[in-house]
Amino acid sequence: MDRLHDFLNHLKNKRLAHGNFLGLLHVLIGRTVECDTGEPVSRGLTWRELAGWLQKVRWDKDAVRELGIDPDELPPKDRQRFWFIAFSRANLDAPKAAQAGDQFAQKLRAEGYKVGPAPKA
């Protein structure tokens, strides 16, 4: 899982998900991501796993504003629960999320990552 940690830090430091947090969530939850060498970064994460990773890398909680969620409405002290509730309100199975995921996947491909297709509805 070091690759996933490095991957998330890379995205965070280069602000690659800025403006497309919904796309990031859609890709990490529903798609496979591999390095350019073919080594797996993620085979798809559960909400709980992703919440834990975002907590671990200290992802900016204001990113939920891109989802139309006020971060002050979410649990301030329990960061894993904060993210989990944000995911539940994000409509990750909506066509808009799939479109955002496709756009984000293109950004990742430009960075040298291989991204699998969106899950079938």
- Residues 17-35, mean pLDDT to the nearest whole number: 95
**Is residue 121's pLDDT more than 60?**
no
Give the burial class of 41: count Cβ atoms within 10 A of its Cβ; 0-12 exposed, 13-18 middle, 19 or more buried. Answer: buried
pLDDT value of residue 120? 75
Sequence spans of domains, the chain: 2-115
pTM of full prediction above 0.85: yes
Digit-coded pLDDT (tens) for 57-80? 999 999 999 999 999 999 988 888
Average pLDDT over residues 98-118: 95
Predicted pLDDT at 7: 95
User: Residue 100 pLDDT > 70, yes or no?
Assistant: yes
Kindly tell me if the per-residue pLDDT of 119 is higher than 90: no
Beta-bridged to residue 7, according to DSSP, are: none
Average pLDDT of 27-52? Answer: 94
Amino acid identity, position 28 = L
Long-range contacts of 105-111 (CB under 8 A, 24+ apart): 105/23, 105/27, 105/31, 107/16, 107/20, 107/23, 108/16, 108/27, 108/33, 111/10, 111/14, 111/16
Q: Are 53 and 45 in contact (CB under 8 A)?
A: yes
The whole-number average pLDDT for the span 2-28 is: 95
Name the residue among 16, 25, 17 with its Cα closest to residue 93: 25
